[in-house]
Every structure is written in structure tokens, then in C-alpha cells.
Copies of this chain bind each other. A is one copy, B any other.
Amino acid sequence: MLSQSRRLRQTPFTPGVENAGVTAYTVYNRMLLPTLFRDIETDYRHLKTYVQVWDVSCQRSVEIVGPDAASLIQKLTPRNLQKMQDDQCYYVPIVDENAGMLNDPVAIKHSQDRWWLSIADSDLLLWVKGLALGAKLDVQVFEPDVSPLAVQGPKAEELMVRVFGEAVCDIRFFRYQRLAFEQMSFVVARSGYSKQGGFEIYVEGGEHAMGVWNRLFGAGADLNVRAGCPNLIERIEAGLLSYGNDMTMENSPLECGLGKYCAGPDDTIECIGQHALETERANGPSRQIRPISIQGDPVPPLHAAWDLLKDGIKVGQVSSAAWSPDFSTNVAIGMVDAEHWHAGTILEVRTPTGDRRAEVRSSFWL
């Protein structure tokens, strides 16, 4: 059982989520994040077939405003932001001076002087505030009253058009537009933590949250819209990493397979962790994220990393795992040492219910 308190914050959508029959939560940025409504396979099938509305308020925003905002944002991430347009969203690894991952937010550029970071599960606010104060930068850094609501699934666009109009169709992947809703307007991006397609609505002002929620459900009854949440099976199949699960401060972006989001030697940017990243890139990472399939019956729920073994020696670990009905195998995400990360390598994985045969794959299940 989860004990609730003020510290584990409810969201402006919690009344809707509760009314929709949520059956389990996790805690993410000290906020409730639904994890289950019916059962995980029913939720999964529905997400892949219809459209779901997800309360992802826990993707708290860090707002950075001021004359030094653009240079601070570039310092924060090894991704080159020089060509980023004012209507773009970038997935940006955030690393410390050792290139250890601190968070992997989506950056939303309002203008050179105003940015949001829509964050994963760590207090990125404190890192950015601390850096800005320590380096005496001319910025304000704070958590605005922004609660993202995701609309995900094959019918997402159809539902969004009914509420926000045809302009929704013109939004390209990882771009956003500010669209009218009653007397307000909200940032609407084509993004989200599934591979089924969809949008995220950045609802500004908690008092407007249930209005948006109710409009979506009112407009989508014939599309079989339901309350949902990020689905463990679907996100593993799609290779969507989870900060805190599949990567931590102990891992570099290169280990996480995020090298393509890190500037190379030809880029003329200055960022934290640059030297550590260049050194690691020159030598190659010593371990890396891999898709792993695990043989046998459905695996039990993973509560802590499972060791990956070769001839009894630890050569990596599995950090997320679930049974996939569509691929009739256990799908998993693991971090594997370089000597054993080649596709087709057979390893053993130590689960709480015994050792299983595991295979390193060349790609996720797409």
C-alpha cells in the first residue's frame, strides 16, 4: 500500500484519474503518476488501438527566464542547441561534470530568453538553481504551474482535432504550437512517452486542468477514449528509456545510447561534462543499453535490477522487463558490458524466481 500525504502531491487531474478508476500509482517527482487502470495487458491493447488521456503532471517544468537563459541552457546539455527554432522541443540529456546523467527532459524553447525543461524524476530545479547562483547568472529559475496532459494512441490526432481544431495536424514531430482553449491558449506539442503517436498539452494554471480533461472525454466517447498512463510493456518494446530505471547518475549519455544527442568535435558549444564526454567518445563506452529478450514464462515484476551473467560472472544488468503479448516473449532493457553486447549473445539473467536464458538483440521491438 502507498501512504499518501501532502508531500506526495496530487495533481490538478487527480479527481479525473480517481473517477476513471485508477488502481495503482507510482511516485514521480514527489507527485502521483498513475500506472494502472484495468490490468497492464488490457491497458496496453487499448493504447495500441484507440486513444488514451494521461495525467503526466509529474513531468514538472523548470522555467528559465532572463538574459543568460540561452547560454545557461546550452551549458546544461551536450546537445547542440544553436539551430533550435522557437517552436521546437528537443530531448536533451543533462549531465554533470563527469558526464553522469542527471535527467533527460524535453526542452521547450519559447524564445532565446525563456525556456521550459519538462523533466524526468530528479530535482533538476535544484541543479539549475544551484548552478545559476554559483555562477552569478542573470536568470530566474522556478517551477511554473504547468501540468502536462498526454493524448496518446492511433486515434490521438482525431481526438485532438475535435478539441483544438485542424491546426493540430500541422504540428510536426517534436514541434509545438500555442492553441486556443476557451479563453486561454496552451502549448500543444506532438510528443509523448509512447510510440503510438500523440500530443502533450502543457496546461498552464491548475484551475483549467479538469476543463481540458472533461472536454477530451466529452469529445472522444465514440473513439473509445480512456484514462491511461505510460505502459511498461509498450515503452520497453519501443525502447523508451526511463530515468532512474534504465539510467542513473552512474551512466553517461553514450552508455545510454544517446550519443546522437551529444555534440561532436565539430560543434562549437560549451557545456558541462564536455571533457569527460570527449574522452569517453575517444575510447568508446565500456557498457551500453541493449534490448534483451528473456526466455520462458512471463517474468515477475522487477523491483530492483537483475544481474546479467556470463559463465557465472556479472556482465551487466536488466533494469526494466515485462511480458509482451504482441511479441510472445519477455521484453527487457539492460546495460551490457562491451565484450558481451553484440546482437545474438546469449546470457543468463538472475530473476527473483530463478535464472533464465537472455539474448542481446540488435533492435527494439518496433
Please give the residue numbers on chain A whose beta carbons come within 8 Å of chain B beta carbons, in ascending order. Answer: 1-10, 23-27, 30, 35-36, 96-97, 102, 121-124, 126-137, 242-245, 272, 301-305, 319-320
Q: Of the candidates B7, B126, B272, B304, which one forms a contact with A126 in the assembled complex, judged by CB atoms under 8 Å apart?
A: B126
Q: Chain B residue with minimal CB distance to A272?
A: B133
A24–B2 CB distance below 8 A:
yes
Q: Of the candidates B35, B102, B132, B302, which one forms a contact with A134 in the assembled complex, judged by CB atoms under 8 Å apart?
A: B132
B8–A23 CB distance below 8 A:
no
Closest CB in chain B relative to A340 CB, distance in Å: 20
Q: Which residues of B contact A1 (CB under 8 A)?
A: 1-2, 23-25, 36
List 12 A-B pairs, Cβ < 8 Å: A1-B1, A1-B2, A1-B24, A1-B25, A1-B36, A2-B24, A7-B243, A7-B244, A9-B304, A97-B133, A122-B123, A134-B136
Closest CB in chain B relative to A275 CB, distance in Å: 13
Task: Check A6/B123 contact, CB under 8 A, given A97-B133, A131-B130, A133-B97.
Answer: no
Q: Which residues of B contact A26 (CB under 8 A)?
A: 2-3, 5, 7-8, 27
Closest CB in chain B relative to A186 CB, distance in Å: 24
A126–B134 CB distance below 8 A:
no
Q: Which residues of B contact A133 (CB under 8 A)?
A: 96-97, 130-131, 134, 272
B24–A121 CB distance below 8 A:
no
Task: Check A126/B121 contact, CB under 8 A, given A1-B23, A26-B8.
Answer: no
Q: Which residues of B contact A242 (CB under 8 A)?
A: 5, 7
Q: Of the candidates B23, B129, B320, which one forms a contact with A127 in the assembled complex, judged by CB atoms under 8 Å apart?
A: B129
A212 to B212, CA, bound (A): 53
Closest CB in chain B relative to A248 CB, distance in Å: 9
Q: Of the candidates B6, B272, B303, which one forms a contact with A245 in the assembled complex, judged by CB atoms under 8 Å apart?
A: B6
Closest CB in chain B relative to A294 CB, distance in Å: 15
Q: Which residues of B contact A131 (CB under 8 A)?
A: 130-131, 133-134
A126 to B135, CA, bound (A): 15
Task: Check A36/B122 contact, CB under 8 A, given A96-B133, A272-B133.
Answer: no
A102–B121 CB distance below 8 A:
no
Q: Chain B residue with minimal CB distance to A133?
A: B97
Closest CB in chain B relative to A113 CB, distance in Å: 20
A23 to B6, CA, bound (A): 20
Closest CB in chain B relative to A52 CB, distance in Å: 17
Q: Which residues of B contact A134 (CB under 8 A)?
A: 130-137
Q: Chain B residue with minimal CB distance to A136?
A: B134
Q: Which residues of B contact A305 (CB under 8 A)?
A: 6
Task: Check A10/B303 contact, CB under 8 A, given A24-B2, A36-B1, A245-B5.
Answer: yes
Closest CB in chain B relative to A33 CB, distance in Å: 9
Q: Chain B residue with minimal CB distance to A72?
A: B134
Q: Which residues of B contact A130 (CB under 8 A)?
A: 126-134
Closest CB in chain B relative to A209 CB, distance in Å: 14
A4–B96 CB distance below 8 A:
no
Q: Of the candidates B3, B122, B126, B302, which one forms a contact with A6 in the assembled complex, judged by CB atoms under 8 Å apart?
A: B302
A129 to B301, CA, bound (A): 34
Q: Which residues of B contact A35 (CB under 8 A)?
A: 3
